[in-house]
Structure 1
Amino acid sequence: MAGNRSRLNVRSSLALTLGSAVLWGLAHLWVGRRATGAALMGVYAIIVTSITAALVTARPELLSLAVQPIWLWTFALGALLLAAVTVAVVIRSYQLVRPESPTAPARYLSAVAVGLLCALIVAPMAYAARLAYLSQRMVTSVFAESAIPIPVDPWKGRERLNILLIGADAAAGRPGVRTDSMTVASVDTRTGATILFSLPRNLENVPMPPGPAHDRFPYGFKGEPPYTPGMLNEVFQYAEDYPAMVPGAAKGRRGPALLKRTISDFTGLDVTHYVMVDMFGFAKIIDAMGGVRLTVKDPIVYGRQNEGLIQPGTRRLSGEEALWFGRARTYSDDYVRMGRQKCLMNAVTKQADPVTVLKSFERLTDAAKNAVSTDIPQELLPNLIELSEKVKSSKIRSFQFVPPLIDTGNPDYDLIKRKVGAVLARSAGASSATSGSSGNAHRHGADRPASLDAICG
């Protein structure tokens, strides 16, 4: 078939070149180079089959790899290598099938067409490589490497994973940060069933854990009167300002360390990690997503100067509107705000689908790097990805320690610990027992956490 080349015109040669981009080796077979053509087709079939099988059958495993820096670099280099090989195949294919004596205009137009084809091949591969590079930067900037080896099965012997979720509000004109939103996400490591234990920011006389903090405040946290009222949301910044409270901890780690230990102590939960999101950075994350769709049940005053209202109804909120949805207290209180914050977290989690993430990936990674801090190690991320798949398939429920169950001015911390134990016992016994809870059941001392779907509508 070597003589086939002499019968090709410009259109046919370009068609064969395009076909070789879709199926390597096509042009080689056409001109009689059967061995090379068959080898290229075989390699191409293996690559396509492997990628397709991985996407269809190994999604959780791929997600686990996608949070490991070494594999992200591998993805990036692999995408660029695949693009380079495909371009080389295309160019060589055109050299084999181009007309023997094309006119000058035909030669020029063919070169332009092949160049455009190569650009179309390189563009998506380069984009995939850039996504991998951005992911690698985000993982390494937000998540530190572990100082100790992570077991292959980190959940072995651990029934629940408890992570402290913090919303930090660093308001203008106020030094430091206040952890105005504190929630312990308690996840069953076997089933993924999750309960959010919400803690009011204004809990007073918080018992401090053994050590320098307890020595300083033996009868509960008092802050720095008369400058501060001594509430739970001050513990983080107090530890940052007074290094002796957490000896040996670096700046930026003292606050999370003491807050985790404090909450672990009075709830009975073993809080091992934290994730803190700056509220204003959170607004940028939502803007990068294109907004978040929420059901607003009551009018919410909007802006520092009460510029307007977020009207009731189901609507898409911008980042700033969502920020005020989660932080406004005008004509409401801390406890209503806590409920709205859980609804906001739930909506963002559900609406951050792969298409939304890919459309604005670069903006999201930039916002996340500046807004999120955590002590979750990089090495634990693959296991957390696998656990998150279980969480998605189960209902997330919420329990709030608010009045009349808890008097925030004089809290019964023994009652808080007993309630946590009772809620976990119920969840372990039968998760279906919580399905009939109303949105306000937890506000009246029930041991049944409410479904977020029921609360948020």
Structure 2
Amino acid sequence: MNESRDADRVSRARSGGEHAAHVTRAEHRRRRPRQGLGRALGLTALSAVVPGAGLLPTRRRGMGLVLVALAVAALVAVGWWVSREGLTSTALQTAADGGRLRTIIGILVAGTLVWIGSISLTALMTQPRRSSTGQRVALASFTGLLCLVVSAPAVMGVRYIDSHLDAMDKVFTDGTVGGGDADDGAVATSSLRPGEDPWVDLPRVNMLLLGSDAAEAREGTRTDTMMIVASIDTRTGDAVLFSVPRNLQQVPFPRDHPLHEVYPDGYDCGDQCLMNAVWMEAERHAEEEPGLYAGDPNVGLTATRRTLETVLGVPIHHTVIVNLEGFEDLIDAMGGVTITVKEEIPINGRTFTDANGKLQLDPNSPQLEWLQPGTQRLNGFQALGYSRSRVLSDDFDRMRRQRCMVAAVIDQANPMTLLQRYPAIITAVGDNVVTDIPRQDLGAWAELTLLVQDGTLKSLPFTAQNTDTADPNYSNIRYRVWGALHPAPEPEPTEEPAPAVPTEDVDGATPTGATEDAPTTSPVDDGSATTTEPADELEEIGTVCD
């Protein structure tokens, strides 16, 4: 009997214990899904913050450690690089290096895929057992959202870089402008050879900025709106802008150019033979005598550049052509440009020629708009009108406004603005700008751009106040250019006569070395310079524009 009672007690005890254990497990199962879901969500989010970090508490801890180490190493490497080069310099150097940009695309794509993989693996490893359908859907939706969040910057970055590379292919032509291919033996318009440091033997680099109203500046056109030569000190970034009037007459062609044989005494046929007509004249002559221009991909641009070299007495190393119709898009992409307007300027109004042959403004033009005097922020339409209008002024006042616009764009194109509005800006640039700067030199140009923004910017226009455009004295023009590029030191030493150059270098031919190196001697002042200082002198651009 005792044994039977003992057996019954043991049996009841076991039954009670099993029942208690069953109750405990049931309670655990009721609570575990909710707690497991929270843990899964938290660890998955942690992997979205630091790739692989959410795997550390799981069986995939080794993989998590590797991913975290790679992420930390990448951040340290980028931080060290930026701290060494500076944020702005790093950004410009990277933007100028097509190979580096393509490498970044590869790293972005691969890194993002690994990151998405770590998020998905974390969710899979931490998903609660026996979770409900709703909980599984919640975890999957949360994981998908995190994958979208981490992939969005990469997608945007790839889009930015792809747009940038596309614009580089359009803008930078590796030494040729207007057709031809360097690999086909075309004569490059640039006199510099690509290299890692193009400024080693070049104290100043001179760039021709041409503005055109044509829809396709790359195919050759008559440059009728803007001709500015920017001479930049490659060590300090100090720059001088020279404005050349479009109506300059009797311009001299260099002796080795085919047009010199046609016009040995200068481009002289009255008011039809102006500086802005050289492009079309060269194209016309090339149609008649194609053999004289063999290998030249753009005879109009080459003739314009070589003629301006002769006029100013300095070599022109690079050319930038801007389609001014697209200039409006560029300014809008930048968010506008701040300019001090000196006088009322009409834009977008109809014009007519009066009985005296003078251009007049129709005051009843339906779309006529006026820019009022004062410092203001102009949109693209207004900026283009400011740069082109000459109805109530003249070419020379327009030249002044164009120099002010160039200076304002240079000064206000800060890296943050470029970054924020980059897609629109790079699209506008790619569609409307072309240059012969070789891609290999873009890194050096990026550094030079920073120097220019910190350097001084001066202006020397050639206007009716200091130049007779109908009968110019090119010796005096070259003399003034040389003086602007070789200012006397501050305290001025005892004056000595400036060394003279051979007379044949100032009689309409390109000065010695003008197509290869900057002149090293001062042009002769033949006494034609006026003794009273003209109003249009070399001065800081702020004095002219503010």
TM norm structure 1: 0.89
Is the 1:423–1:448 Cα contact (8 Å) retained in structure 2? Answer: no
Residue from 354, 363, 366 that aligns with 2:427: 366
- 2:107 matches 1:69: no
CA distance in 2, matches of 1:149, 1:424: 23
- What stretches of structure 1 move > 6 A for 4+ residues in a row? none
Matches within 5 A, 1:38-187: 38-58=65-85, 59=87, 60-146=89-175, 147=182, 150-170=194-214, 176-187=221-232
Specify which of 393, 400, 404 is matched with residue 339 of structure 1. Answer: 400
Equivalent residues in 2 for 1:368-383, closer than 5 Å:
368-383=429-444
8 Å contact kept, 2:208–2:228 = yes
* Aligned twin of 2:22: none
- Residue 259 of structure 2 corresponds to 213
Within the alignment, does 1:255 sit opposite 2:300 as a pair?
yes
Larger Rg: 2
Q: Deviation at 1:247?
A: 1.0
CA distance in 1, matches of 2:328, 2:232: 26
- Cα distance between partner residues in 2 of 1:171 and 1:106: 60
Matching residue of 1:242: 285
- TM-score relative to the length of structure 2: 0.75
Counterpart residue type for residue 544 of structure 2: I
1:31 is displaced (CA, Å) by 2.0
The change in CA–CA distance for 1:302 and 1:119 in structure 2 (over 3 A counts) is: same
Alpha-carbon RMSD across the aligned residues, in angstroms, is 2.6
Contact 2:458 2:539 in 1 (8 A): yes
SS in 2 for 1:398: strand
1:196-238 deviation digits (Å, cap 9, x = unpaired): 1111111111011113111111121146x7xx71111111222
Q: Contact between 2:349 and 2:369, CA under 8 Å: does it hold in 1? A: no
- Tell me which amino acid in the other structure corresponds to 2:340: T
1:281 and 2:320 aligned = no
Tell me if the contact between 1:69 and 1:140 (Cα under 8 Å) persists in the aligned partners: no
Which residue does the alignment assign to 2:17?
none
Paired letter, 1:97: T
Per the alignment, do residues 333 and 388 of structure 1 end up closer, same or farther by CA in structure 2, a change over 3 Å counting?
A: same
Tell me by how many angstroms 1:32 deviates: 5.1
Judged with a 3 Å threshold, the aligned counterparts in structure 2 of structure 1 residues 448 and 408 are, in CA distance, closer, same or farther, namely closer
Measure how far apart 1:109 and its partner are: 1.4
Seen in structure 2, the aligned counterparts of structure 1 residues 38 and 8 have a Cα distance that, compared at 3 Å, is farther
Distance 2:201 2:491 in 1: 21
> Is the Cα contact below 8 Å between 2:240 and 2:457 reproduced in 1?
yes
Does 1:322 pair with 2:383?
Answer: yes
In structure 1, distance between residues paired with 2:346 and 2:536: 33
In structure 2, distance between residues paired with 1:328 and 1:446: 22
CA contact (8 A) 1:27 1:96 kept: no
| SS of equivalent residue, structure 2 residue 310 | helix
CA 1:120/1:431 → structure 2, altered by over 3 Å: closer, same or farther? farther
Moved more, 94-103 or 114-123: 94-103
**What is the Cα deviation at residue 339 of structure 1?**
1.1
* 1:77/1:380 CA distance change after superposition, 3 Å: same
Provide the C-alpha distance between the structure 2 equivalents of 1:76 and 1:86, rounded to a whole number of angstroms: 15
Stretch deviating more after TM superposition (22-31 or 338-347): 22-31
The Cα of 1:426 is off from its aligned counterpart by 0.3
Percent sequence identity is 32
Structure 2 unaligned runs (5+)?
Answer: 1-31, 176-181, 183-191, 351-364, 493-531
Supply the AA of the counterpart residue of 2:197.
D
- Quote how far apart the aligned CAs of 1:444 are: 4.0
User: In structure 1, what is the Cα distance between the partners aligned to 2:65 and 2:200?
Assistant: 49
Would you say 1:411 and 2:477 are equivalent positions? no
Q: Is the 8 A contact 1:294 1:347 kept in 2?
A: yes
Tell me whether 1:299 sits opposite 2:344 in the alignment: yes
Query: Aligned to 2:487, what secondary structure does the other structure show?
Result: helix
- Give the structure 2 partner of residue 440 of structure 1: none
Shift of 1:84: 0.9
Kindly indicate whether the alpha-carbon contact (under 8 Å) linking 1:423 and 1:447 is maintained by their aligned counterparts in 2. Answer: no
